[in-house]
Chains A and B, each alone.
Chain A
Amino acid sequence: MSGTASITKNRARGARRPDLRVIGPLVALVVLVLIGMALNPNFLSYANITNVLARSAFIGIIAIGMTFVITAGGLDLSVGSMAAFVAGLMILVMNLLAGSMGDGLAVLLLGVALALLAGLAAGFINGVLITRAGIEAFILTLGTMGIYRSLVTWLADGGTLSLGYQLRELYRPVYYGGLFGISWPIIVFALLAVLGEVVMRHTAFGRHCAAIGSNEKVARYSSVAVARVKLATYAILGLLVGIAVVMYVPRLGSASATTGLLWELEAIAAVIIGGTLLKGGFGRVWGTVVGVLILSLIGNLLNLTDFVSPYLNGAIQGVVIILAVVLQRNTGAAR
């Protein structure tokens, strides 16, 4: 009995010794970069790096929010479908507005505002049902996952919702344009990651999330507003889904029933690879960013080479995910 207690205590202390536990995902990332350099001279080219970072941004932005939800002991399986639904809704409304208001900037801004609001509202609904109605997060978000996926299929009439040509041209720079040669999705992702890390490390909200995740009852007795903080994590995640959608829609200007498929699992995987505990109580946003980069680098590397059969891509990704987590757990438990 006391043996298990001391192990847990050591683990907890390990969390405060970053030099050991941090190393796993970073090693995996460095190894992947080295393999990439060996396999293809274009790997470190400006275009390739930009592509990989920009495509990571959607999952990355969502995964930042997921870090807070998981740290507070929750889970959200609905984010992929939610993104698809919000994207579909945004496109539909923008096309409708363009009919009466013309293809101006006003329509674009209304669309962006709608996406952010819809994301926030969807996250808020998840949060309210989990904290007030007391439904298990796993089950509730499994339910909303199905609801949003069906809604976007229904909105699109089984096909694809596409943004009108004029609006798409106007909106395009939000994904393809940028500042000083760095594209907008990367800039937004980086800013949100820094903001997330600061909130997690240096604010009462971040500490409350960790407190709730490690022991909800104790947190309640310590006068943490448990329900409100948990609700806030889901609402923030919803808002971040909205931001991700704002960056995603200008890329292909369309949304369909296959949009955002499995994003929830990729986001959760990134969070866990990055060192956040799945059972809650400890989270780090910068680790999540490393996790997201690992995931998209594997995909990129597999496309840059014919080294393995494409049928085995999923297996390679699985192995790297497991390795990253194993490296980190082992160093953590090594006391």
Chain B
Amino acid sequence: MKKTLIATTALIGLCAGPALAETIGISIPAATHGWAGALNFHAERTVERLKAANPDLDFVLTTTSDPGQQVSDLEDMVATRNIDALVVLPFESEPLTAPVQRIAESGVWVTVVDRGLSQEGIENLYVAGDNDSFGRTAGKYFADTLEDGAKVVVMRGIASTVDNERVAGFQAALEGSGIEVLAMDHANWNRDNAFNLMQDYLSRFPEIDAVWAADDDQAVGALAAIEQAGREGEMIVVGGAGMKEMVDRIRNGDKAVPVNVTYPPSMISTAIEMTALGLTGAAPMSGEFILTSELITPENADKFYFEDSPY
């Protein structure tokens, strides 16, 4: 099902734009947490760059913090801006499916990012991170480096399908490794919650070898709690998503944070660029583009460090 589409020669298409201006609507969640903040950062940067490179392209960028508002935004885009293509990161899959389907049926090119719609075959292009691989990569690292019988605690995110897929991938990778998962609780992708949860884990378990924080904001909270309890050096913390502070610690060889797993917010750039290519170029662009989660190690960390990004 997941055909990976590789667009190598497609950049040429950008230079050969048609005479008529094309409008691309972009609808993404508001910058209410670090990852979404970076998503906004990359979206704005890409829009500016594409506008400069291609005067025939016009963009409408909206951000929302709830699904209802996002539906209204989409309606406004179609009604008042007459968009030719839509790049949408659905706030929630179910409520957005029907509105996006209507837009697709009216002949607008639709690119769906990250969170899929609940019905197949609506979008022309699907660009997403791989949640299973996000969990699996971290799990595989644990299975490869930790000893048999090592004890791991897990901090889950907000209860959601994204979180479920990640945890399933993590558990699948640990299977048969002899690593024991002591507990799994939700820290809701939040530093403060993670700090409290880690404090409680530390008073509950005298022996912990590794923490899968499943997100870098959570890793920040976990590390602070470990330091407070004076138990540095006992355990490693693996977060995820590639926050620049964490990448920095990795490239400096920090023992507590040996690796990280990517879930790049810059995937919005991939989606916008491929949509622009689909509109303006002759190269085929429909299909699925799944970005595998990569393991960030001290060796390759420089590649994942973005100085200007807010995340």
Contact = CB atoms under 8 A, between A and B. Distances in A.
A104 interface: no
A159 B224 CA distance: 19
A47 B185 contact: no
A153 B204 contact: no
B97 to A, nearest CB: 24
A252 B221 contact: yes
Given A157-B37, A158-B40, A257 B220 contact: no
B200 A258 contact: no
Contact of A51 (B38, B190, B199, B224): B199
Given A157-B37, A258-B190, A310-B186, A303 B196 contact: yes
Most interface-central of B197, B200, B201 (chain A CB within 10 A): B200
B37 A159 contact: yes
Interface string A153-187: 10011111010000000000000100000000000
A222 interface: no
Contacts of A313: 186
B159 interface: yes
Interface of B: 30-34, 36-38, 40-41, 156, 159, 183-186, 190-192, 195-197, 199-204, 217, 220-221, 224, 228-229, 245, 309-311
A214 interface: no
A contact residues, range: 20 to 34
Contacts of A153: 30-32, 37
B228 A176 contact: yes
Interface in A233-284: 251-252, 254, 256-259, 261
A176 B30 CA distance: 34
B32 A258 contact: yes
A55 interface: yes
A56 B42 CA distance: 37
Contact of B33 (A48, A157, A176, A258): A258
A259 B190 CA distance: 8
A42 B131 CA distance: 35
Contacts of B202: 47
A304 B203 contact: yes
B32 A47 contact: no
